[in-house]
Structure 1
């Protein structure tokens, strides 16, 4: 019997990780994914500073449900797809953009977690649960807030307390940018209404 080539084996592994989760696996994945999103410093900062308004915490909960629905609808969602999805929500619901790749890092962690759960590997979920319990279910890292037009020279310190270790690379320093809409006045002196800024 012929052995599968490395490329064939890799393709099979990738395909198997995209299959729908079983009814017993789904809540495990959703719990771990929720911890990852709640432990994401950029999102935590947007919620704590109410970038999304007084119901920012509810929007974060909705965001977790939306991510779960995304994978339920399309199990083949990869890290790049999820990153775009998260960035769009940050822009639309929290009027926030990021200066780093933290959204992709979180997306990679979520996709890896899903693959682990699909293969009945609970090591990542157990590590996340232990992390969450040790931190009292809260994550308040020291993150420098930078608004457009302000100096970010003090953004040199790093705090590793908010890192979630799930056998992936450590998350980089996270910085959120609260977007501001500049006033535009036409030649007659009338102010033009501007749409909310989107991530370029």
Structure 2
């Protein structure tokens, strides 16, 4: 990556009070660019994946994107303001201090996206968005595979095992009784032979 100028900044033109784009498409592309830059930040991704910010870590990442976008509601934004905003957010929301220049690099990327969007150049933002979508679809597929394998297969095998455990001993007990009893005729007190019924087998 090219050397980053820590004094780099963007300023709204004379008479304009905000860095927000008047054109809706441009503003939407810039906001997408900010989100893609934030999602590209490995340190933040690690914090989200490990839930360092609690169960809503993913929502906190989106919130960070929002506060960076809001910075551009002002007349001037410099790269260090973006860097500091990112670093403070990591401490406040994820209890994590970043001691490298990664936040500065993300700030530089956001500044680049701002200038690209001002020139209506969206290729880099679109490219990152496509990569992100592809990664999300892979994650979704992996989740679906796990969801299909884990709850269903063990349940089926468990229920089959339960049925086997219940049925087999009962059948064996019945058979033992049937085999043992009719070895010879049963005679009552008066000396008459009783007829054996077959009704016990069902």
Specify the TM-score bucket, using the shorter chain as the normaliser: 0.5 to 0.7
Superposition pairs of residues 1-200 of structure 1, within 5 angstroms:
15=11, 19-22=19-22, 23-72=24-73, 74-136=74-136
TM-score, length-scaled by structure 2 = 0.56
CA contact (8 A) 1:19 1:76 kept: yes
Gaps spanning 5+ residues in structure 2: where? 1-8, 140-202
Q: Deviations over 1:66-125 (max 9, x none)?
A: 1111212x2421211100010010011111111310000001001110111012111221
Counterpart secondary structure, 1:104: helix
Gaps spanning 5+ residues in structure 1: where? 1-12, 140-200
Greater relative contact order structure (CA < 8 Å, 6+ sep): 1
Q: Deviations over 1:120-163 (max 9, x none)?
A: 11122122223323433689xxxxxxxxxxxxxxxxxxxxxxxx
Query: How far did 1:50 drift?
Result: 1.3
- Corresponding pairs, count: 126
Distance 2:85 2:38 in 1: 13
CA contact (8 A) 1:82 1:107 kept: yes
* Structure of higher CA gyration radius: 2
Per the alignment, do residues 88 and 137 of structure 1 end up closer, same or farther by CA in structure 2, a change over 3 Å counting?
Answer: farther
TM-score, length-scaled by structure 1 = 0.56
